Amino acid sequence: MNATALWLTIIALGVYHGLNPAMGWPLAVANGMAARRGGAVFATLLPLGGGHFAAMAVVLLPFAWLGWYAQSSRAIRLVAAALVLLFGVYKLIARRHPRALARIRPAQLAWWSFLMATAHGAGLMLVPFMLGLCATAPPGAQASGIARTRDLGHTAVMNYLAQSDLATAAVVAAAHSLAMLLAGAAMAWAVYRYLGLRFLRRAWFNLDSIWGASLVIAGAAGIGMAL
């Protein structure tokens, strides 16, 4: 997969996470209806997006650092993709949500969002695609790396590459979280303003199976990109 396809996949996964009710948009609808004003819907979504971003960054940044540190990132990419695939299989088998998350108060929205995204493996799903971006350097980057080796030495080059990979991880987390936030906002506003709670009662379906299958697909894609 080229860089454009990887970025589109990251954004598409963000939209998918945003539409998934497990990521919190029903809380925004509930708060909007409780406050009887549309502003409460969007006020609720902001901390949900912040918590989701933190969950992405906590997972992606260490993998980005490991991708730089190892002599070959191929092994890390294979392990990361296999981990995603195995977690997807686990989610297909064990579909219950962690009970501890049910005791988190809705007022602590950012913390709740962070825990929910982490428990569902949302950040783990992005790891193969983020590592793919870190591994696809433009042709000019290798030339500039050689020049830096001559001028600044091996240590300076490795520090520069580490910062680049960490920056990529941060941008991936931000782009994905923004797509998730916009999709969640659109869904929450549509339910709050137009569709109402009757829509949820009639059209609600369990996304756990789809979520687990998507993790398996993401892991398989990561293995394919690393081979």
Dump pLDDT digits (tens) for 112-155: 888 878 877 788 888 888 877 876 554 444 444 444 444 444 55
pLDDT for the residue 213: 75
Where are the chain's structural domains? Answer: 3-226
Q: What is the pTM of this model?
A: 0.70
User: Which alpha helices (DSSP H) does 20-108 contain, by range?
Assistant: 25-35, 39-69, 73-93, 99-102
- Contact (Cβ atoms closer than 8 angstroms) between residue 14 and residue 176: yes
pLDDT for the residue 105: 58
For the chain, how far is it from start to end, CA to CA, in angstroms?
A: 12
Task: Please give the Cα distance from 199 to 208 (Å, whole number).
Answer: 19
Top-confidence residue, 176 or 2: 176
- Residues 161-201: tens digit of each pLDDT: 445 578 888 999 999 999 999 999 999 999 888 887 676 66
- Which residue type is seen at 159? N
- Residues 14-61: tens digit of each pLDDT: 998 898 887 888 888 888 888 888 888 898 888 999 999 999 999 888
pLDDT for the residue 149: 44
Tally of CB atoms within 10 A around 79: 16
- Contact (Cβ atoms closer than 8 angstroms) between residue 57 and residue 51: no
Top-confidence residue, 66 or 29: 29
Instruction: Provide the residue count of the chain.
Output: 227
